[in-house]
Structure 1
Amino acid sequence: MSKAVRFDEYGGRDVLRVVDVPVPEPGEGQVLVQVRAAAINPGEAKIREGALHDRFPATFPSGEGSDLAGVVVGTGPGVDGFAAGDEVLGFTDERASHAEHVLVDAANLTAKPPNVSWEVAGSLAIAASTAYAAVRAVSLRPGDTVAVSGAAGGVGSVAVQLARREGADVLGIAGPANHDWLVGHGIKPVAYGDGLAARLTGLDAFVDTHGDGYVRLAIELGVAPDRINTVADFAAVAEYGVKADGSFVKSAALLAELAGLVADGVLEVPIAATYPLTEVRAAFEELERGHTRGKIVLVP
């Protein structure tokens, strides 16, 4: 048997439970992975609450989780690129990675570089892919000035670094506790709150990872809609015609590229906290409090 997170109805953290399930058998093109790390994401909380039912309905009992890193323990027919004992990272679209074992399509896996930690490897699929897509969407050029909201969060902390790699001057909107971290990565920290508009001058682009009115602010500051991307305010996409590129770009090839940047020491994925699988409720409690730097990770 193997442990996995399940919920039987929409609701708060209290609907989450960890149950024993049979270890799955890999089918055609599938790889069975023993999970070493699996990040949690804000979208997973929204799905569990039912807030995204129209876009991502759950069927019960439901598992959860997309990101993962672990060790291959078995492969199904037609899998040539992986073998038992391989260390891998990747993603599943079956809401299943918050578990001790998970079946993954071989096409959604790539090798884990030896010098990338399990926690970081298990955090790349959603946050880093989303950051990559969001930065690409605003078409940065050397010398541009771009603001990033939620600049120390799971997506934002990667987005600011990728924007700097494009040669842009990056204004990172974050609380004072994260300003030193931003400065250490070549980012100009900007405090959120009253007077923010006056602190954001000369913007060419805006990456919104937080929501809560930042798209409207960018429009008011004169940023062109086609150079604004949000991963958090989908109502603003319809209202203002801005972009909403996000995690749907994830692929094994992109994850290999991002993992390579981490391995080379040019990209940091901050890990805010780790929790055992049995403390999944506590992990989401910390996530929902906000103000964490980087990712929260389950370690089965």
Structure 2
Amino acid sequence: MKAVRYHQYGGPEVLRYEEAERPRPGAGQVLIRVAGTSFNPLDASIRAGFLQEAFPVAFPHTPGVDVAGTVEEPGEGVAAWSAGDAVIGFLPANEDGSAAEFVVAPADILAAAPSTIPLADAAAMPATALTAWQALFEHGGLEAGRRVLIRGAGGGVGGYAVQFAKRAGAFVIATASARSAATVRAQGADQIVDYTTGALAEAVAEPVDLVVNLVRDNETGLAALVADGGAVVTTTTPGEGDPARDVRAVSMYVRSDAAQLAEIARRVDSGELRVDVSERHPLSELALVHEQGAAGKFRGKVVLVP
């Protein structure tokens, strides 16, 4: 089969599109014929060697934590899935991933793919949508009537976070550049702050109950925007709280959760959630996609198709 692999840590140039042995499912696993994968900064950080302690990999390594595809072969003991089932999943980051024609996945992390969008496009969901869901509801405790600031709403996670928060009945303030503003507004943002033109503190007139920070930079003062008893949840740099006012700081890593993913897929099929795919590329161009992703050239999610 064809796969993209790297044989050492490094920049995008270490990614090779090459022949690889087709994997076989073990007990509790399924073999998936990949319809699509997607670009995630997590894949790039692992490739660069920045996360060796958290996610050690064996070389050669195939990246790709998102998968959408059809079950080719269930492994021993798998009763939940049959050949031909359309599935999605957030794969273990330290195992060989979905940047290939076939991938092996634990059966219990998979959910049925939504049926109302192209199967390859469903690869834009797992990592980013789960991150948004867990940041808002598990770590942020978001409820109806609350005010939430989503910093970095123009990215893949941000787009889902805006939609989830709005659907939950929150007032949504989103930071985005001019190129993403129309999309973010269509996703449900009540107020958009162009982070390139002014100070965030000046734009947020009233305290918010929750900040979801999706931007990797040295921004300080986020806790000052939060009302007493609120939270700052960050997926990037360490969180900043204010214990004196009971403002929590949470630094989170997304985890695989099949039940949450099934609920997210249900919302896609019901029309409550839109999957925004900004670009589609053949898998052979993964190195180029990693290069462009590092340069910040993408809005939303990029899908790659074997």
Q: TM-score range by the shorter chain?
A: over 0.9
Q: CA deviation at 1:191?
A: 0.5
Corresponding residue of 1:53: 52
Which of 239, 245, 248 pairs up with 2:252? 245
Q: Which amino acid aligns with 2:113?
A: K
Distance 2:252 2:124 in 1: 19
Corresponding residue of 1:36: 35
The SS at the match of 1:117 is: coil
- Is 1:286 aligned to residue 298 of structure 2? no
Q: CA deviation at 1:283?
A: 1.3
Q: Give TM-score scaled by structure 1 length.
A: 0.92
Q: CA deviation at 1:158?
A: 0.4
The SS at the match of 1:71 is: strand
Corresponding residue of 1:212: 217
Q: Mean alpha-carbon deviation: is it higher for 153-162 or for 75-84?
A: 75-84
2:235 and 2:253 in contact (8 A); partners too: yes
- Counterparts of 1:69-218 in structure 2 under 5 Å? 69-93=68-92, 94-136=95-137, 137-187=139-189, 188-193=191-196, 194-202=198-206, 203-214=208-219, 216-218=220-222
Q: Report the identity percentage.
A: 36
Distance 1:88 1:175 in 2: 34
Distance change in 2, residues 1:142/1:280 (3 Å): same
Q: Which amino acid aligns with 1:283?
A: V
Q: 1:118-150 CA distances to partner (integer Å, 9 max, x unpaired)?
A: 233112221000000011122223222211011
Distance change in 2, residues 1:60/1:246 (3 Å): same
Q: CA deviation at 1:291?
A: 5.0
Which consecutive unaligned segments of at least 5 residues does structure 2 have?
none
Distance change in 2, residues 1:266/1:61 (3 Å): same
1:211 and 1:230 in contact (8 A); partners too: no
Q: Mean alpha-carbon deviation: is it higher for 226-235 or for 37-46?
A: 226-235
Distance change in 2, residues 1:223/1:14 (3 Å): farther
Distance 2:88 2:48 in 1: 27
Distance 1:57 1:29 in 2: 22
Q: Which amino acid aligns with 1:244?
A: S
Q: CA deviation at 1:19?
A: 1.7
In terms of fraction of residues, the more helix-rich structure is 1
Q: CA deviation at 1:97?
A: 1.1
Distance 2:81 2:144 in 1: 40
RMSD in angstroms over aligned alpha carbons?
A: 2.1
1:134 and 1:246 in contact (8 A); partners too: no
Corresponding residue of 1:230: 234
- Counterparts of 1:238-277 in structure 2 under 5 Å? 242-248=249-255, 250-277=256-283
Distance 2:108 2:78 in 1: 9
The SS at the match of 2:80 is: coil
Q: CA deviation at 1:281?
A: 0.8
Distance 2:227 2:140 in 1: 11
Distance change in 2, residues 1:181/1:235 (3 Å): closer
The SS at the match of 1:298 is: strand
1:148 and 1:159 in contact (8 A); partners too: yes
Q: Which amino acid aligns with 2:52?
A: H
The SS at the match of 2:201 is: helix
Distance 1:223 1:97 in 2: 42
Which consecutive unaligned segments of at least 5 residues does structure 1 have?
none
Q: Which amino acid aligns with 1:98?
A: A
Distance 1:144 1:108 in 2: 31
The SS at the match of 1:243 is: strand
Q: Which amino acid aligns with 1:140?
A: L
Q: Give TM-score scaled by structure 2 length.
A: 0.91
